[in-house]
Chains A and B, each alone.
Chain A
Amino acid sequence: MGFSWPKAAAVGIVAGFLSGLLGIGGGVIVVPGLVLLLGLDQYSAAATSVATIVLTAAAGLVAFGVNGSVDWGTALIVFVGAAMGAWAGAHYMHKIPEYVLAGVFTLVMAVASVRMFF
């Protein structure tokens, strides 16, 4: 498996469609899509998903920002912590075995699917 335009576009369309319709973040679809369809390993899939989230979340933010429903003061305070967390997570990720990352992600998917169904 390798890069394929139709497969990559399919992942984007499904993730974008569902986040636009149901308000679910794209990552929970993009990561398994990249792993199962495009054959990326768990590390590259997570990293690539985070980079696409910059684009998709920014597009969503434009819509929300226009409506004035963003509390920037709170956002900046949370970001102080989140920046440290994101740096540490991305920096030390390679020390975590791939099956642990994949297992935790599977758990997140399972919880999300149960919560969504009921």
Chain B
Amino acid sequence: MLEIIGLILLGVFAGSLAATLGVGGGIIFVPALVALFSFDQLQAQGTSLAIIVMTAVVGTVTHARAGRVDWKVVAVVGSSGIIAAYGAATLAQSMNEDLLRKVFAIVLALLAIRMGLRTYRLWRISSALDSG
């Protein structure tokens, strides 16, 4: 019973973050299933994907009702993403994964700096509007 309550609470926490931030939630589901509910890595990833699909449907319907979903972008990003993911899975053996991981980490850090600068501008505009 305690385990069921724990799993539901995990869902509430990760589900609300995922829908608000625009991510799947695997970054929370996978480690939580491994560390707290003793799943092995593969089963945690598979189960996390199943939760993500169902949860993202609920998030999408709610967002779409608020008129926030750009469907043209969804179609292009979704289809090119699926093709690229299958291509990458095929290429995976011949790639230097550690190097790729490090390069990608640096790209992500640079993107984070740009997002941080944008956040600062948004905050400045917002506080100027509040005081003005």
Q: Which of B10, B11, B79 counts the most chain A CB atoms within 10 A?
A: B11
Instruction: Give the CA-CA distance A93 to B47 in the complex, in Å.
Output: 27
- Is the C-beta of B92 less than 8 angstroms from some C-beta in chain A? yes
| A47–B22 touching, CB < 8 Å | yes
Q: Residues of A within 8 Å of B, CB-based: how many?
A: 95
Instruction: Give the CA-CA distance A113 to B26 in the complex, in Å.
Output: 15
Instruction: Give the CA-CA distance A45 to B115 in the complex, in Å.
Output: 13
Interface residues as binary, B89-132 with A (CB distance below 8 Å gives 1, 0 otherwise):
10110010100111011101101101110110011001000000
Q: Which residues of B contact A (CB under 8 A)?
A: 4, 7-27, 29, 33, 37, 39, 42-43, 45-47, 49-60, 62-64, 66, 68-74, 76-89, 91-92, 95, 97, 100-102, 104-106, 108-109, 111-112, 114-116, 118-119, 122-123, 126
The 8 A-B residue pairs with the shortest CB-CB distance, nearest first, are A81-B11, A85-B15, A46-B22, A20-B88, A27-B23, A16-B84, A82-B15, A12-B80
Q: Which residues of A contact B (CB under 8 A)?
A: 3, 5, 8-9, 11-23, 25-36, 38, 40, 43-61, 63-65, 67, 69-72, 74-75, 77-91, 93-94, 96-99, 101-106, 108-110, 112-114, 116-117
Can you offer 23 A-B residue contacts whose CB atoms are under 8 A? A12-B79, A16-B87, A16-B88, A20-B92, A34-B73, A44-B70, A47-B63, A51-B63, A51-B74, A54-B56, A61-B46, A61-B49, A64-B50, A71-B43, A80-B8, A82-B55, A85-B14, A86-B58, A90-B63, A91-B62, A94-B66, A102-B118, A116-B101
